[in-house]
Structure 1
Amino acid sequence: MQRRLEAFRRAHPHLAEAPPPHERLTQRDALLITYGDQFRAPDEPPLQTLHRFLRDHLGQAISGVHILPFFPYSSDDGFSVIDYRRVNPQLGDWPHIHALGRDYRLMFDAVINHISRQSAWFQGFLRGEAPYTDYFLVVNPQTNLSQVVRPRPWPLLTPVETAHGTRHVWTTFSADQIDLNYANPAVLLEIVDLLLFYVAQGAQLIRLDAIAYLWKEIGTPCIHLPQTHAVVKLFRAVLDEVAPGVLLITETNVPHAENIAYFGDGYDEAQLVYNFTLPPLTLHALLTGDGSRLTAWARTLRTPSPATTFFNFLASHDGIGVRPAEGWLSGEEIAALAETALAHGGRVSTYARPDGSQAPYELNLTWYDALNDPHRPSEHDIPRFLASQVIMLTLAGVPGIYVHSLFGSRNCGACFARTGQPRSLNREKFAYPNLEARLSTPDDRAARILAAYRHLLEVRALHPAFHPQAPQTVLDLGPALVALRRGAPEGPLYALVNLTDRPQEVLLPLEHPAPRWRDLIAEGVYQAGPQGLPLTLVPYQSLWLVPE
């Protein structure tokens, strides 16, 4: 291991320097989450078209881009990787990635719980070739695996024909995604080499996909095992040694307490974790007009050190996970979210409980349609959608914006019909000339939302109260409002969001003596009284108030 690190350090000495931990992420950081072929134009590699969209329509409103797996793959829209070290030629090549990296911080996916059955590694396993014979987990199908936590409802073991006969291999997610055997040190070293390769190619953030399931031990739930945390600590130690500016982010779609365990002690595991509880609680708040569950949860948010923060998001390439709401929403309230998703044209994916019963795992539809009934369009639809984004952008952390949230995309029924996969409802790809035509039409929904979103991002980037480490206080102004104070007492920012379709009158208590307050979003000015700041918020209005 030490020889590897020394060789990497010699080849990339500039990566050994990094700013202090609290300066590695600031209020200027916001990441777009997108597929490499999200925008398609004639006679142009999709990665180049993506770069063109970013330059033309976002500029410096975002600081980084999470390009979802851009490697050759065999299924799951990229998450069954055939070759970890190649760019999918249908997207472009490494020079296109490098060009994007000159303008934006890049997040790469490390899809390292499993690999495609078409990969050279697994094909070598099937032929009985060293070293691949021990790269995968072979289990007797008679083994009792009832304790294993299952994120998918289909069989855990998949029979395959090898040079030595039929073998049953461990497949957490699908028969095409073969889990790797981390009890084999050779696999661990392969993955360390891979992470260093990604850093050399320009990754400034590395997303550890499905990391919770990494280590398997029969007789246990095979999720969040101590060995998994030990592997994350190893990855962190390696990067801290040779590239301390590169940040790890863990993707664990599980209840909140389990999720934040991947911060470790604040210095030895991930610097960021996905804030998976935020989407279902925000959805519940805006659908019911009651933010009490959301604000109660937000009061508990803590990170263990100034080197850590949350990756706040509402939509992603997957669905809206509802398991992270367990403990905050009742079973009936989670069922109500699922019923709304179905009524709005979505689907509901399930997982298997230990007793064999099925429960909602994620809601498959776009975030815009989760909030707004496509059968009953309303003047409140866009304000309600933007209100949700203001909540996400206000909370302490780094925002992650799924590309479809820039446009208020609706469910892609044709995509679902074509693939039969519920997640396809939320994965429509754009013909870039058609999208450009929409964005040049001011009254088009996509143009309106993109203009409003870019304005929010640009305002946010300029105010230090939105720094990930700036203080955050959750205020109680009643269930119809989400109210936060960000920043130090001498320079606070008050954020208020009306969760309802009715005007809300409120008296905002102030700890700062300024007589006049300005809204950064709409530039309105408000006069404080002796008891506080009287405000009336129209339906779904948001305010970012600072002293004049």
Structure 2
Amino acid sequence: MAVKNQVQLITYPDSMGGDLKTLHEVLVKHFSKTFQGGIHILPPFPSSGDRGFAPLTYLEIDPAFGSWEDIRAIGEEFDVLVDLMVNHISRQSKYFQDFLEKGRSSEYADLFITLDKIWADGEPVEEDISKMFLRRPLPYSTYKIKETGEEEKVWTTFGKTDPSEQIDLDIHSDQVKQLFTQFFENFSKHNVKIVRLDAVGYIIKKLGTSCFFVEPEIYDFLDWIMELASSHGIELLPEVHAHYSIQYKLAEHGFWIYDFILPYTLLDTFINKSNEKLYRYLKNRPAKQFTMLDCHDGIPVKPDMDGLIDPPEARKLVDVCLERGSNLSLILSEEHKSEDGFDVHQIRCSYYSVLNNDDDAYLAARAVQFFVPGVPQVYYVGLLAGENDVEAVKKSGEGREINRHNFTVDEIEESLQKDVVQRLLKLIRFRNEYEAFQGEFSIEESPENEIRLSWKKENTWCGLFIDLNTNKTLIRYIDDKGMEKESVV
């Protein structure tokens, strides 16, 4: 199965109408010709936290969202992409609950990383931990075993609670491999065509390293899981937030990668009215990428942009974003901050709001995304030109809720009346249908305050022209009669 070179939608199972059945109805009614590249459904599985990213199992769909039949039905009309958190599983899963009950005598004990698998005596060493790229103050949590009363320290990369809700899996364990095999069989049975490997960068734990994207061991695992996915006709998309050179290594190994550089680069382009960084970036990036501007987390900054940004300049750009209502997530490890202390991990906002609710700037940014080589993904809030949901942040205390508004069917239909949304839908249709996008990409020379990109295939050609001073965007193209046409975006 090949990934289609057309636009995809990213959505939660309940963020467009409340459940999967309604999502399907909304897709068929309003977007049947829009998302021909597929639908990325963020985790619809039973989960104990992190809005689906602490799954109990992949063999069931959370009944609040619907059933596997709903996924299968969506998959009849759209290629479905789902996540597999290869790094961890929920503390509430039957596997870890059994471990909490019986400890080492649990049949599932080998799924998890008890600290004696890392340090021979099971005692953590601060010097080793100081080298690690941490996502919480310590990379493990302590749990009490019910039957024995003993305490067990278990590896937990992620989690806001102590002890964590997200328990790391030991990918060297045959039991884990059997579990993944079972999950892929189930995905295949229910029409899933693409699987995103979430948090795959953290799967190898090796002393003396950052425990992040440890080479060459990570490739052994990726090769194994690629073979497993291919045997079920499923494509893989590894998700790695890291220095861009790591993404490029994945690309060299033949994997799809995420373009986590484009969102910040375009923000810089439109705020500073200069094509310089964008052009420099576009000249040497791999083509086999999924492109995005917005997602359920935020606009990546560190470590993704390390080496591509100047921290003092980045601070100024971040300040503009904060003035426009954004909030930030920060790097925890001192070692991974910039020398001057710059520590922004992600800028959290709606992309429409961070471009100052400016229809023209927003559509110009989308036009660049669609012209850059790769498979474009549009997040549901971005699709509907949603604004920062500041109330949701206040209510929940979770900064990421700023860009996670759940739309009712009425709100979707209301958003579809907006001029900016209709213009975006027209742009998506052009990107899906125009033949030149299957051809050859070029960056045209232009003054610094303009963007000119083009595609050519046989007798078809289309060019993008953006004036960064006004954000006005034009697409010129050859129509099926061989005439040159011009369309204002």
SS of 1:392's equivalent in the other structure is: helix
Tell me if 1:279 matches 2:257.
no
Residue of structure 2 aligned with 1:343, choices 305, 323, 334? 323
Instruction: Report if the CA contact (8 A) 1:255-1:277 is conserved.
Output: no
- The percent identity for this pair of structures is 25
CA distance in 1 between counterparts of 2:271 and 2:466 reads: 14
Residue of structure 1 aligned with 2:55, choices 62, 65, 81? 81
Tell me if 1:59 matches 2:24.
no
Residues 261-340 of structure 1 mapped to structure 2, 5 A cutoff: 261-266=249-254, 270=255, 272-303=256-287, 309-323=288-302, 324-340=304-320
What is the identity, as a one-letter code, of the residue corresponding to 1:137? Answer: I
What corresponds to 1:517 in structure 2?
A: 484
Number of aligned residue pairs: 462
Q: Kindly tell me: are residues 354 and 417 of structure 1, through their superposed partners in 2, closer, same or farther at Cα, counting changes over 3 Å?
A: closer
Residues 171-190 of structure 1 mapped to structure 2, 5 A cutoff: 171-174=156-159, 175-190=164-179
CA distance in 2 between counterparts of 1:435 and 1:204 reads: 27
What corresponds to 1:9 in structure 2?
A: none
Tell me if 1:155 matches 2:160.
no
Residues 37-52 of structure 1 mapped to structure 2, 5 A cutoff: 37-40=14-17, 46-52=19-25
Tell me if 1:232 matches 2:213.
no
Residue of structure 1 aligned with 2:153, choices 148, 168, 187? 168
Residue of structure 2 aligned with 1:474, choices 422, 443, 447? 443
Deviation at 1:356, TM superposition (A): 7.0
Deviation at 1:261, TM superposition (A): 1.8
CA distance in 2 between counterparts of 1:55 and 1:88 reads: 22
Q: Kindly tell me: are residues 169 and 503 of structure 1, through their superposed partners in 2, closer, same or farther at Cα, counting changes over 3 Å?
A: closer
CA distance in 2 between counterparts of 1:219 and 1:489 reads: 53
SS of 2:469's equivalent in the other structure is: coil
CA distance in 2 between counterparts of 1:413 and 1:502 reads: 27
CA distance in 2 between counterparts of 1:217 and 1:360 reads: 26
What is the identity, as a one-letter code, of the residue corresponding to 1:518? Answer: K
Residue of structure 1 aligned with 2:430, choices 425, 443, 459? 459
CA distance in 2 between counterparts of 1:285 and 1:71 reads: 38
What corresponds to 2:401 in structure 1?
A: 424
Q: Structure 2-normalised TM-score?
A: 0.89
Residue of structure 1 aligned with 2:112, choices 132, 136, 146? 136
Deviation at 1:475, TM superposition (A): 2.2
Deviation at 1:502, TM superposition (A): 7.2
What is the identity, as a one-letter code, of the residue corresponding to 1:154? Answer: P
CA distance in 2 between counterparts of 1:195 and 1:111 reads: 13
Residues 432-451 of structure 1 mapped to structure 2, 5 A cutoff: 432-439=409-416, 442=417, 447-451=418-422
What corresponds to 2:74 in structure 1?
A: 100
Structure 1 gaps of 5+ residues are 1-17, 19-23, 304-308, 523-541, 543-548
SS of 1:296's equivalent in the other structure is: helix
What corresponds to 2:119 in structure 1?
A: none
CA distance in 2 between counterparts of 1:100 and 1:473 reads: 36
CA distance in 2 between counterparts of 1:195 and 1:290 reads: 45
CA distance in 1 between counterparts of 2:368 and 2:200 reads: 27
CA distance in 2 between counterparts of 1:481 and 1:134 reads: 57
CA distance in 2 between counterparts of 1:355 and 1:197 reads: 41
SS of 1:107's equivalent in the other structure is: strand
CA RMSD of aligned residues (A): 2.3
What corresponds to 2:118 in structure 1?
A: none
What is the identity, as a one-letter code, of the residue corresponding to 2:363? Answer: L
Deviations 1:7-38 (A, max 9, x none): xxxxxxxxxxx5xxxxx2444x2110000001
SS of 1:483's equivalent in the other structure is: strand
Instruction: Report if the CA contact (8 A) 1:365-1:425 is conserved.
Output: yes
SS of 2:420's equivalent in the other structure is: helix
What is the identity, as a one-letter code, of the residue corresponding to 1:232? Answer: L
Deviation at 1:337, TM superposition (A): 2.7
CA distance in 2 between counterparts of 1:161 and 1:337 reads: 46
Deviation at 1:297, TM superposition (A): 0.5
Deviation at 1:489, TM superposition (A): 6.8
What corresponds to 2:247 in structure 1?
A: 259
CA distance in 2 between counterparts of 1:437 and 1:361 reads: 34
What is the identity, as a one-letter code, of the residue corresponding to 1:167? Answer: E
What corresponds to 1:248 in structure 2?
A: 236
